Each structure stands twice: as structure tokens, then as C-alpha cells.
Amino acid sequence: MERRLLAAGAAALCLAGPAYAWEPTKPVEIVVPFSAGGASDQMARTIQGIIQKNQLSSQPIVVINKPAAAGGEAMVEIKKSTGDAHKLLTTSSGIFMTPMTTKLPVSWTDYTPVVMMAQDAFGLWVKADSPYKTSKDFIEAAKTAEPALKVGGTAAKREDQLIVFAIEKQTGAKFAYVPHSGGGAASTQLSGGHLEATTNNPSEEVANWRGGANRPLCVFSDKALPYTEKVADKSWSEIPTCPSQGLNVTYQMLRGMFMPGKVTAEQQAYYVDLFRKVSETPEWKEYLARNALVPDFRDGQAYVDFLKTDEERHRQLLTEAGFIAGN
């Protein structure tokens, strides 16, 4: 009988999960530096849903969108929230680009890196009834278009426009870049015929692709996306890479989580463990596949090393494009 009681007690401890040196004591805010519907917002809300469904936190998770100043509002808020372990920032390459292009007095080193959840690809998208079948068709038309073909994306001097600059440099074509509050807004404008193309992430265009409004010409990757299930007329893996069509432009960006600066190691460790659990759920893996995100979970020094390298890469790209503030 005593053995059975001991075994039952051990089982109960296992079900209760590990004891943490620190746990949140009030609702946790995930601050998204972009508008609702964009890729960063979708990721935050997916994480929120997974945590709640699987009861991974004893406290509720609240998603708050603060898109003002190209995400600068959110970044400044997290910087000012030093030591507050109940706030998180989900972000992308904007963690480097917004300060560099606006002189915003923040840096990713002001924050506490938690984890990188994935990397995100970009594609060249057109309206479903567009005459362009390949990126080559699109580029050739752009070279003689009057007025210039309109390409939409998220914000100005950010990833989407950086890709447009790279296309112009590589091909000699010129475009009219049209910034939007988020990728969802750009996709809507494309489906409405107000743009000729977008350089959106897969997650920002998948709904309109599946619905028959928009379609991809190519992805800005060295290799095809690793998902074979049909989405609309084809799978993600069947979308050609842009380099395979002669458009030698590649770019993908981090999808990461940060905390304010000067939190404790125990607080940071809690969230690393939390997001690792999220990354191991079937729901997260389904989310990656549905939105064609490249799995790439990193924490600790591996994440910091990535951030250092990626920051320098963006500094070089932005300098070349003339997007650095003051240039």
C-alpha cells in the first residue's frame, strides 16, 4: 500500500510539471510592433492559443498591437519596461531595421533575447488574373512600364522595400514601392487590383492565395520551401525559387521573442522553457507548415550569435540601399 501511495504521489508531481524558480504572477503581455493580421501578429496569436489550449502557463497571455512609428512605439515601450518580466516583444528583422532607419534610440541589446522561433521567407505575389506567369515576365514588363509598376509591402525602409531595392539593383527595373501598415493590408490592395505585386511573407498571402485572389510567382530563397501539402493549385514546395527563374535575390528573416532588459536569469529561463514547449506541440508544427515558416528554434548563445551576425548583415544591406537614417 505504501509503495502504491508513493507511486501515486510521484505521478501527481509529474502531471503538475516542473517547479520553476520563477513564474508569472499576473497576465503576460505579448507586444506586437505591427498591426493585426500581419505575420508577427499571427505568430503571437498562435503562440497565445497554444499556451492556453495546452495549459502551459498559469497566467493568461494577452496580445497587444502597437504598430505606430514602424514598430518604434512597441520597441520604446519594452525598453522603458526594464525589469518587467510580464512583458514580451515579438519581432522580426525590424529589431535592427527600425532603429537604423529612423534614429530610434533603441537596440536589440537593450532587451533580453529569449528565443528565435523560426525564420520567414518572402515571395513575389501577383493578382490571380495577372498576365505574369514567372518573375521574368514581371521584370521584363517592369522595365518598360509607364508609370512604374506598383509593388506593396509592410512599411517603408523595411524588409519588403529592401527586397524591392535588391530586385531593382539586380535587374535594372524600377518600381513604385507602396508602404502599408501590414502585410494583410498589402495583400488586400493586391487582390483589389490597386497593386501589381507584393513582396509579402507566405502567411500574409496564403488566405488570398487559397481563396483564388492572388498567387505566387517565386520565393526569395536558395531552396524550395519544405512543405508538400497542396495549398491551392500547388504546394509551397512547388513554388519556384526566384533564383531558379533568373532573379538572383534571396532574403528571409527571424521570428523571435525578447523580454525587457535587466530581468533575472530565472525569469528568462522560464520563457525559454515555455517557448520550447510551444515549439514542440503539433499545433505549432501545423502553424509552421500552414504558413511556410522555416523551423529554426534557437536560444542562449546560439540566438545571440545569430542576432549579432544578422544585425551586421542588415547594416550592410541598408547602407547599400541608402536607408540608414541621416544618409
Q: Which domain holds residue 200?
A: 123-250
Report CA dihedral (223, 320, 301, 102) to the nearest 10 degrees: -120
Same domain, 113 and 190: no
> Cβ neighbours of residue 159 under 8 Å, at least 6 residues apart?
92, 93, 94, 97, 122, 153, 199, 251, 253
Same domain, 147 and 204: yes
The model carries a pTM of 0.85
**Grid coordinates belonging to 135:** 518573375
Q: What is the 3-state secondary structure (H, E, C) of 161-177?
A: HHHHHHHHHHHCCCCEE
The CATH number of residue 171's host domain is 3.40.190.10
Same domain, 134 and 235: yes
Domains identified in the chain, total number:
2
pLDDT tens sequence across 124-135 = 999 999 999 999
Same domain, 36 and 62: yes
CA distances 269 to 18, 82, 90, 179, Å, are 13, 17, 17, 38
Nearest to 97 by CA among 313, 266, 270: 313
User: Which run of H or of E encompasses 79?
Assistant: helix 72-80
Out of 250, 268, 302, pick the residue that ends a domain. Answer: 250
Residue 28 is predicted with a pLDDT of 98
Residue 18 is predicted with a pLDDT of 58
Residue 154 is predicted with a pLDDT of 86
Same domain, 138 and 190: yes
Nearest to 318 by CA among 171, 166, 182: 166
Residue 327 is predicted with a pLDDT of 58
Same domain, 263 and 115: yes
Residue 37 is predicted with a pLDDT of 78
Rounded CA-CA distance 11/89 in Å is: 36
Out of 205, 221, 250, pick the residue that ends a domain. Answer: 250
Residue 36 is predicted with a pLDDT of 83
Out of 225, 250, 275, pick the residue that ends a domain. Answer: 250
Residue spans of the chain under pLDDT 70: 1-18, 327
Question: Is 326 a domain residue?
Answer: no
Backbone angles phi, psi at 19, to 5 degrees: -85, 135
Residue 236 is predicted with a pLDDT of 97
Q: Which position has the grid cell 512609428?
A: 69
**Grid coordinates belonging to 259:** 523580454
Residue 67 is predicted with a pLDDT of 84
Same domain, 219 and 180: yes
Backbone angles phi, psi at 247, to 5 degrees: -100, 95
